[in-house]
Structure 1
Amino acid sequence: MKVKENPFTKDFPKAEIKRSKISSKDYLSQWWKVWVFGQYIPKKQLHSFRDPNNENIWSLEFSNDLGNILTVSLTLSTSMTSKPDASGTRYFYELIIFNGKMNELCKKENSWNFGSGTSKVWHINESQLILDSLQSDGILLIQCNISTENIFVSSDRRFQSELCWNLKSFLENQTLTDVTLITNKNKLYAHRIVLACKSPVFLTMFEKDMQESKLSVVKIEDFDSRIIIEMLRYMYTGEVENIIDIADDLVRCADKYSISELKESCGRYLANTLTLDNKDIIEQPKFKELSEVQPALIIDLLVKIASEKLS
């Protein structure tokens, strides 16, 4: 049931509702900029935001009251979901501080029973690093994630890039592969779980009592092996090589296996490479490919042609 908006809280900015990629659960996420004015760092800076789901008001306070000891406090200022005398609700929270270049400086994860007026203070060990960064960049960014479940996804880019590197290595070295893709020229080895994660078509193949699931073999006769190799590369790493030569075939392959991000990327590449000064544009093969698998991009393309003619 939708919570009726409280008129006393509507002036506070709404936090963003995000969904965890791991558990498909929603959590509250808010970004806040902490400023420095010349060489002066204010003793306290306060930021409040509200949860659009239940109108709870949360507050973040960045404090420099203790000399070179910095603190960040998280407070449930007004709770619409618990009484003032209640023990509160256990929330999991994550506070991450970035410098102006979006490099992570420090991170705090914890859980606490928050009732109305409850605060939790974080004494930052990396205070000098953060003060130096604040003086240098003139700004800090604090990301605050809040949930009633422990569902946060790691924001460590090193972790994410390392995971992609490991997956790529497993693909290239055929480590623990459990499915074979047979093309017109080659046998390619991959991992069911990766294919199923990136493609609902492969997921259905492996979940149902189909031949591909029983034999752990997928026969692909309508695409050359180099197209399937690049499809796999994208599924494991998010990268494609030599797209200039294969975009038209790759967009059809992405369409067949419902890999939406790859399909859109190839479609936009094809749209951008069409010759707009050609009067017979609709006769171009790339236009035909787009009209079949990415019809929505045709509108973008026609707008682009019209704007160029008017300019």
Structure 2
Amino acid sequence: MLRPTTLSTCSPESEQGRHVFEITGYSKHKGMGHGPGSFIRSATFPVGGHSWSIRYYPDGYARANTSEDDYISVYLELMSIGSSVRASCDLRLVDQTTGLSSTVHKTELRMFNPSDSSKFAPKANKLFKKRSELEASAYLGDDRLTIECVVTVMKKPKVLESKPRPKIQVPPSDITQHLGNLLEQGERADVTFSVGEHSFAAHRIVLAARSPVFEAELHGPMREAGTQTVTVQGIQPAVFKALLHFIYTDSLPAMDGLEGDDRVEMIRNLLVAADRYGVGRLKIVCQSILCEDLDARNVATTLALADLHHCEMLKDACFEFIFSSRMDDVVHQRNPFVNMIQYFKRVLGASGAAA
């Protein structure tokens, strides 16, 4: 049985923070006396174990006499020193009438390094908002400008060990055991077979389900006549008992005390019975056993049996054995079927010469 498989799951861990930086007296901050490049810094705020702030440039980041003179600039700045941070930010302006914010610049997930310019987002000289458009919009109200910044910091991935799903062990099928007990105990049997001096109680419905011959016999004229006892001729009691055992359990019974030729003879008789009653799987099982037990003494008899009962696989196995290096051993056996072997040898030899 396989041991339960262990499982672990890696999930991204992040922390998000939102900071609002409100600029009151917007018009009074213009031309702070220092011109472009001068900034106002928000209060420091924590997100993901790091400190951040917003830089607001009322006269733009760039120096004077450039095409950027008409822009305001806004940046997120990593204030913590030490290790780099993997994060993203969304810089927005808030509509003073509706209170809703709109994204002006979004920085996708990237590394913020506190020791160089990558600690800012967006990059230096990135245009933020044209002043003339801003002052004509609803982002300004009562001379107030509200900047909103959403920072998402990626933290160390979280690895969780998950317990395997509980399993309920299903026991092996025991239907054949119950059916075997049904046959052995004879409970509710509705037909009896008389075989020689022995009687065997059985169940019509089981036999009919497993054998087309039994189905025809037990659910045809015999059922209409109400016959309860069926006399079976031409089969030894031990063989018929083994046939019933296979029909109920789909397996051969233990053959204690049968060794060598006696066991082979029992399997041959079972093959004949399986052919007689149309129990196809039993017929193949018997062929398989006889194939494994082939030797120079019994191959001729087995071939004759296979030919008589249309066992093509067993016939092929016999021929393969016969026309192997042991051919001479087979011919020297005193067996009434050796003449048939010699006949096949002559026919096949003539076919080879003609070719």
Q: Scaled by the length of structure 2, what TM-score is found?
A: 0.41
* Higher-RCO chain (CA-CA 8 Å, sequence separation at least 6): 2
Larger Rg belongs to: 2
